[in-house]
Structure 1
Amino acid sequence: MSRRTLAGGLAVAAALTVTTLPAAAAPLSVTFPSAKFPLGDATVPTKTATAVTQGIDLYDVKAGTATDGYTVTVLMPSGRDYGMQETAQAKAAEVEALGETPSVQKVVRPQVADAPEQIVYMVRVGLWPLKDKAKADEMAKTLKDGGLKVKVDYLGDDGLKTTGPWDVKVVMIDAKTFRGSYGATLGKSVAARETVSAMAKDRNALVGVNGGFFNIHTAKNLRGEPVGLSVVGGRLLSEAVPGRSAVVLKGRTARITELKTTVTAISQDGEKLTVNGVNRAAATDELVLYTEEYGAKTPNDSGSDVVLDANGKVVTLRPSGSAVPAGMRVLHGAGAASDWLNEHAWEGWTVKVDQKVVDLRTGKALALTPDLNVIAGGVGLVRNGRVHITAKRDGHDSVNMILRRHPRTLLGTTKNGSLILATVDGRQPGVTVGANFTEAAQLMRWLGATQAINLDGGGSTAMVVNGKLVNRPSDGVERGVGDALLVLPK
């Protein structure tokens, strides 16, 4: 099915409203670009600029117009909305048997830095303007009544050519004039989820955005756990997914790199065992470290808990399934790891927990000092000024993640060390379409980033400035998330 314009042409007027900065403010070394918006038909965006504090500006950016409409997509036997050509043609035949006219659409998921392009096929039925979604719903019901699994699709979400619109919020933090610092937080505990608004309020943050992905595939009461590295105030609270992109925050500096962690338990008798995870559910035969920030009980899996004081002394051995005492850490062993603890972590002995966070670009370990914070990103987008999308390495090399448009939370750094935070709202037909990975990378380059990563997105995308949520989350309300990046006044 060909893509065609469903409404009038694109026409966006340029507008600029600026809140005047104090007269004594120094010139910014990071500024909003004057070039045309890089997505869609490359028009001049509308933007409203607001000075947040010295060295921080917030931009409300809008571009594009709505010309996409709706179609009905037939799901494949896999449950996906795409498949191989033969499968798609078979589904199209089922649609024809119901007396409707299908279209088999070839879709190219573009090549990225670490994965080749992929060609897939979709089966679509009908095409309706934005105002006629009810007609698409009627067609979907007809096909469902005929035994097909289908969904109504807004074409602006596809990731193919679009005119938008886009609703973007951008915070630019000038390295030369900003006098505060950057931090990370997992809220009141690792296990629980909280809104960015709540986490920002708790720290009196000037700006807050949601951090990395959190684990939706674990027990409900543990779903605040980050999927990837988390360091807060120099404390390792979640292990890295080796090689995944991350942002390292120290004082008022931010840089993007790839990291790995190694954690090892070393008994006073010299025996060692790898610690498989930090503050997460334990799998069979795993050794997992729990800190007091965990906020949940250790697994009740017939394993063993060894409670360590701040110096690594074994305070007590206990059955698993209890909370982490204040000021303590717990090594929990399941299966073979439980046997190791019983043999090498006797009460009164010392068990050192050696922790290393290694920067894979430099090969050097990061010093776990109180001013160090690390947040794992979802996908690398820009490296050394060029689009460099590491979707496969970062676990997101599907058609849905690379090509389709979603709300995005983006972080970039400039050549002089300034920080750029951006949210792109999406999943709001006719209002804002979000961005795919390529568009997200193009947007961050346009804003001046020489390094950039994608953080968690979708319904998690949130930006809070001076205590106010400034974007429009796609869930309609702000979602609880695992962690947040905070811009602090001191």
Structure 2
Amino acid sequence: MRHATTSAGRSRVRRVAAVPVALATLALTQTAAVADPATNGVPSVLDTLTPHHLTVADGIERTTYSSDSSEIVVRVSVIDPDLGAISLDSTVGAGVSVKEPTTAMLATVAAGGGAPYVGVNGGYSVSTKDEDDLTGKGIPEERSVPMVTSVQEDVVQGAGCLKGQNSVVLQHGRPHFTKITTALGITSDRNTADTADDATRVVDGVNRYPGWIVFCPQEAGDVVLPYRKDADGVVQRLDQYGNVIKGGPYYQDSSEIVVFTSAYGQKTPEPRHTPFVAADDADGVEVAVDASGRVTAVKSPRGGTAVPPGGMVLQGIGDDAQTGGGAQWLRDHAMVGAKLTYTQRATDLGVVGDPDDDVDLPLDPAYPSIDVVNGTHDLMRHGRVVAEPDDNVANDPRTAIGADGYGRTLLVTVTAREEGLRRGVPIYDLAKIMEDLGAVDALNLDGGGSTTFVVDGQVKNVLSDAGGIERPVYDAVYAGRGGHGLPAGGN
């Protein structure tokens, strides 16, 4: 994995596209979606703002929509890889387990030879420091856990929801908007003189704590933690003792195997980091696997192991072999010297509910070309607004990514105009902004204090956290130097 290289330095090879994007066709069939915000006749946020245009580089235009009479500013970057050597990628910075400010993540890309032109914060994750329960039991280390699907350079870094999650696939300088799910597995071949072994087991998660799952079930055995509603009807999540905890929803599974990839960036977590989830109490088993797939060490209790370069660490909980206990499976099949083969699939669900429309992304870490960034609300699909008026109506800062009818990528933020304010728009208004900008498809990314718009390494928007401090995030989306598009006038 090369997380600190320039776009030009990334070995992205033209292969069969992950999905049939057909953006050229969309440019012909969806031209009604490419509208001038000043003349489309639909009242919107942009109608009240004045645009200020700036060319960042060949193929990258930046526009700031603002007004002295408005508390918000809309910042837009339009990225056209057909007009310059421009990449469209994402990065997790130094490691997937630690949140970093967007500028710091983009700096790791710049360290290889040139800063990205523009970038925004990416998708959702949860930091355990943010998830301390309300009873005063702190969690000793801050570790970032991807909430849903994350793929970096063709390696799954965060497992997807069992039924898929809204995501954007970045490949060959273009975005594709869909739902992604993942399927992971491990096979053991001990190849000893007296024992033949070809045991296979599902891997339940990637780069997260065994036993607890954030946001959605990732396997059929995941069980939601209890909750209740207070007198105002607000849902309150409960820990294993019945105490109210923040965040959620959370799920737990007492029998799991979780893989930690070479991009994890820390030593593996120890048990009982999440006191609100009973399944995390298990000591479990941990095995270290080198780059060749050979098990080099086995330990219990789990935790505190550095991931071997190019290798992985597997943590297992659950001692009942009859029910597929993860810890017991590792004891039986992953002793020192055993050869383990790890398999990963990321599937584009296409038309959800129609398995015939499912397509596996062609993940190949040896020739990486695919990143996947997660989001929450679909804003637009196929030229139509799909967000609902009652979707998250808070006037919060927002970040979105979209694609217009000409095949260009739109990176958009909506934030306050003045320092010290926390302003934005509801989700539905964000969708209408994307529509007015000509988007055909669009996805809501992480927002609030995470919303960050960066140009040449400098934050351009008002930051909403106290003191104007840039909030650490899980990943970032950027347009960088050196890409897959044709130069202007190319064939």
**Length-normalised TM-score, structure 1:** 0.68
Name segments (4+ residues, structure 1) moved above 6 Å: 29-32, 427-432
Equivalent of 2:361, from 348, 362, 366? 366
Deviations 1:343-396 (A, max 9, x none): 1112222221111000000411111131211111122111111111389xxxxx
Any idea what SS the aligned residue of 1:231 has?
strand
Equivalent of 2:257, from 266, 284, 287? 287
Residue of structure 2 equivalent to 1:265: 186
Any idea what SS the aligned residue of 1:202 has?
helix
Equivalent of 2:120, from 185, 202, 209? 209
Any idea what SS the aligned residue of 2:185 has?
strand
Taking structure 1 as reference, are residues 451 and 220 closer, same or farther at Cα in structure 2, changes over 3 Å only? farther
Structure 2 Cα separation of the partners of residues 266 and 225 of structure 1: 25
Structure 1 Cα separation of the partners of residues 44 and 405 of structure 2: 27
The answer on 1:250 being equivalent to 2:250 is no
Taking structure 1 as reference, are residues 355 and 42 closer, same or farther at Cα in structure 2, changes over 3 Å only? closer
Residue of structure 2 equivalent to 1:25: none
Matches within 5 A, 1:151-166: 164-166=70-72
The answer on 1:195 being equivalent to 2:101 is yes
Structure 2 Cα separation of the partners of residues 472 and 31 of structure 1: 28
Task: Give the C-alpha shift of residue 456 in structure 1.
Answer: 0.1
Taking structure 1 as reference, are residues 482 and 340 closer, same or farther at Cα in structure 2, changes over 3 Å only? same
Taking structure 1 as reference, are residues 426 and 313 closer, same or farther at Cα in structure 2, changes over 3 Å only? same
Could you tell me whether the CA contact under 8 Å between 1:195 and 1:479 is conserved in 2? yes
Matches within 5 A, 1:329-340: 329-335=312-318, 336-340=325-329
Equivalent of 1:480, from 472, 481, 490? 472
Q: Who wins on radius of gyration, i.e. which is larger? A: 1
Matches within 5 A, 1:46-57: 46-57=50-61
Equivalent of 1:345, from 326, 334, 350? 334
Task: Give the C-alpha shift of residue 293 in structure 1.
Answer: 1.4
* Counterpart code for 1:179: A
Deviations 1:297-350 (A, max 9, x none): 223232211222234222222332122122220111012211111011122222
Bigger Cα displacement from structure 2, 291-300 vs 472-481: 291-300
Task: Give the C-alpha shift of residue 431 in structure 1.
Answer: 6.7
Any idea what SS the aligned residue of 1:404 has?
coil
Could you tell me whether the CA contact under 8 Å between 1:414 and 1:448 is conserved in 2? yes
* Counterpart code for 1:286: E
Structure 2 Cα separation of the partners of residues 279 and 422 of structure 1: 29
Structure 1 Cα separation of the partners of residues 100 and 419 of structure 2: 27
Any idea what SS the aligned residue of 1:442 has?
helix
Task: Give the C-alpha shift of residue 415 in structure 1.
Answer: 2.4
Unaligned runs of 5+ in 2: 1-30, 110-114, 132-138, 190-196, 212-253, 272-282, 319-324, 351-356, 483-491
Residue of structure 2 equivalent to 1:297: 267
Structure 1 Cα separation of the partners of residues 458 and 400 of structure 2: 19
Structure 2 Cα separation of the partners of residues 37 and 223 of structure 1: 47
The answer on 1:424 being equivalent to 2:402 is no
Any idea what SS the aligned residue of 2:95 has?
coil
Task: Give the C-alpha shift of residue 414 in structure 1.
Answer: 1.5
Deviations 1:151-195 (A, max 9, x none): xxxxxxxxxxxxx53211100112431321111111111111111
Structure 2 Cα separation of the partners of residues 375 and 435 of structure 1: 22
Any idea what SS the aligned residue of 2:179 has?
strand
- The percent of aligned pairs where both chains have the same amino acid is 33
Task: Give the C-alpha shift of residue 221 in structure 1.
Answer: 3.4
Q: How large is the RMSD of aligned CA atoms in angstroms?
A: 2.5
Task: Give the C-alpha shift of residue 32 in structure 1.
Answer: 6.3
Residue of structure 2 equivalent to 1:88: none
Any idea what SS the aligned residue of 2:126 has?
coil
Taking structure 1 as reference, are residues 265 and 430 closer, same or farther at Cα in structure 2, changes over 3 Å only? closer
Residue of structure 1 equivalent to 2:251: none
Q: Which has the higher contact order (CA 8 A, sep 6+)?
A: 2
The answer on 1:277 being equivalent to 2:205 is yes
The answer on 1:239 being equivalent to 2:243 is no
Any idea what SS the aligned residue of 2:449 has?
helix
